[in-house]
Structure 1
């Protein structure tokens, strides 16, 4: 069972009145976390009051989840545990009440245990990271917080330059805003959640360059991802070398009513790209191609810099689904550097250069270890030379 920094285990409260589903859940995740199973809303509320160490509530939507979420919102410890819903509904709007701010994720009945395990492992790693930031160092019993901070000189530079640039380019921003509105239906600006320095989540703003249905098109474009590993997936019915020696699969995993080798499945999952980027992206509008090739679409991010969400130079802030894949200690180091409008990766591997997600991570980690005013100045100069791209990427 996974141990946290303080030696305790990750506590899960599973609310389910179906004995078979409860037994399946306990079998699948009992070695990862300490699981307590209750069968009703009232039992769940009692357990949360009696045990403040619960880290995650997994709640079957069929057992009146709306009432549960409304009743926990005023509990003093409601902010310290996460909630995942299991549902048979087609979709749930997590931005609506009572789900907003209270539900971390939604899984549909018949979900992949491997997918749930990935989510559970991320939540455990996230808590471990938070605990390590507040670990007690031995001498004197004093608490030393290892919170990452942007250097004061870098912050002053960012505030001064971003304010000056926003003032100077305000006429350009106005003209582009009008053109975006005339070019295609949808909002002028596109704001999306990004994870930056110290895992801080913020809204990053750009001029909209894509169609309004771009997110729905993403799943059908996976084969065109530039970061895809150029290695064919192993057949799911193939067994690993160890199992072949025995003559049968020793680690069976059941997905979509089919038996697969667990080792082969996770080898395929590991080979999938961590990032998404496309050449000649069909989701981009006519005006969007021009804005992207000239980097004009990123001008609104001067506002993010002024706010302190980002810096002029740093590691590109990632969408949450990409950041969740980089929780291992070697990868997480990239989040020790400020989020940036441009950075070492952009000027080193921009345009037509072949790049893998591992190379991108390594460049991000290198910047986090070495960044300085001199490094930033060199990156800014190289960025200015690379602004006019030759390829639509």
Structure 2
């Protein structure tokens, strides 16, 4: 059954692909989630966008000349705002560069796992539902911050900002003297009820830190350590049946088992955290080890973006991976400066992303004044932690 939006219509996807079999496979995989229209050429895709301006998303095969398509879309006022997901084998695409900037919202490599694209598609549908109803989409959990928590946060943050203002001034001067760049670092975060806000810290990294992230995947503490499965490995079902692969994928000109490939993709980390992070400045290491870099977040707490205790607010690219019901429950709790995960596993290299999600969900279900007080006390004990993460 198609997922319907608030106005009763289905989410519409234009799939641009000239291979009939791939088009049929795509429609079979995602036709129950969205209304799929197939365009067999760039010219046909532009025609559909002109004739049917209510298309919500374009999924475009890069082999059909995405550069020409995106430039044509950009120059047409009718189609300029359409969002595109690009299917490609080019690992060096920079989504911040033209013609991709502002038009391509995601990139999937050929041979992608269907469930990965399904999750992304579900998020986009949910996002449009939220926009159409002015934020009144039916939610499975209550996401209103309790009055006692908001009053405590406001009063506490105001007093602490007043008392710590001399320290904040000194740290601001030291950050400016230590390395080039702004004093504060603000980044988009997703908090309670999927609310997006700017979270502030003292800058502890080099100004090119974001550009270095893609080359540091092997250092991620949340990566699953396991032996890489051979490309020709069979899933358990095919092994028991004694047959060849029944669900082949062709990835980088090699045949791989779809189940084995999806298992490998699923093992990739949902979160990012690094030990001995090379992007951190000299002063930044001290600020992080003492948690002084977090002090500007008292301003976020004063504004109501965050609470003293809650689940850590996530960057949008991490939050988008947690839209399934079991994961989304963590967003029923306020975003917090500290939380159950931090005091339970602070600095623990063995923690997995699944353990972190479970702790976040547990807090969302059980948080109370007593729980928050316990977490604050344990945070004060751990704030001078020695491990450099």
Give the TM interval when normalised to the shorter protein: 0.7 to 0.9
Q: How far, CA to CA, are the matches of 2:46 and 2:197 in structure 1?
A: 36
1:224 to 219, 222, 225: 219
Give the match for residue 300 of structure 1. 296
How many angstroms apart in 2 are the aligned matches of 1:320 and 1:211?
Answer: 21
Within 2, Cα distance between the matches of 1:168 and 1:70? 54
Q: Is 1:30 the equivalent of 2:27? A: yes
Could you say which residue in structure 2 is the equivalent of 1:43? Answer: 47
CA distance in 1: counterparts of 2:349 and 2:85, whole angstroms: 41
Matches within 5 A, 1:250-269: 250-269=246-265
1:249 aligns with 245
Q: Cα deviation per residue 1:349-371 (whole Å; 9 max; x = unaligned)? A: 11347322111111100110011
TM-aligned CA distance change 1:217 to 1:131, over 3 Å: closer
Q: Do the aligned residues in 1 keep the contact of 2:189 with 2:316 (CA within 8 Å)?
A: yes
Q: Measure, in 2, the Cα distance between the counterparts of 1:28 and 1:192.
A: 39
Structure with more contact order per residue of length (Cα contacts < 8 Å, sep ≥ 6): 2
Q: Given the two structures, how large is their TM-score scaled by the length of structure 1?
A: 0.82
Q: Which residue of 1 aligns with 2:73?
A: 68
1:105 aligns with 2:101: no
Which residue is 2:146 aligned to? 151
Equivalent residues in 2 for 1:81-92, closer than 5 Å: 82-84=83-85, 91=93
Compute the TM-score of the two structures, normalised by the length of structure 2: 0.83
CA pair 178-69 structure 1, distance change in 2 beyond 3 A: same
> What is the match of residue 140 of structure 1?
none
Taking a change above 3 Å as real, the CA distance of residues 134 and 363 of structure 1, as seen in their structure-2 partners, is: farther
Deviations 1:146-189 (A, max 9, x none): 46221223222222222222222222222111211221222222
Match of 2:372, SS state, is helix
Tell whether 2:191 aligns with 1:186: no
How far apart are the structure 1 equivalents of 2:79 and 2:298? 38
- Give matches, 1:158-169, under 5 Å: 158-169=153-164
- Structure 1 residues 207, 123: closer, same or farther in 2, change over 3 A? same
Unaligned stretches of 5+ in structure 2? none
Q: 1:182 to 1:238 in 2, by over 3 A?
A: same
Deviations 1:323-363 (A, max 9, x none): 22222211110011111110011111113473221111111
1:27: how far off?
3.6
- Give the number of equivalent residue pairs: 371
Establish whether residue 314 from structure 1 lines up as the match of residue 304 from structure 2.
Answer: no
Aligned in 2, Cα 1:72/1:356: closer, same or farther, shift over 3 Å?
Answer: same
Structure 1 gaps of 5+ residues are: 136-142
Name the counterpart of 2:268: 272
Contact kept, 8 Å, 1:227 with 1:277, in 2: the verdict is yes
- Shift of residue 243, structure 1, vs aligned partner: 2.0
CA distance in 2, matches of 1:356, 1:209: 25
Give the aligned CA root-mean-square deviation in angstroms.
Answer: 3.3
For the Cα contact (< 8 Å) 2:49–2:79, is it kept in 1? no
1:116 is displaced (CA, Å) by 7.7
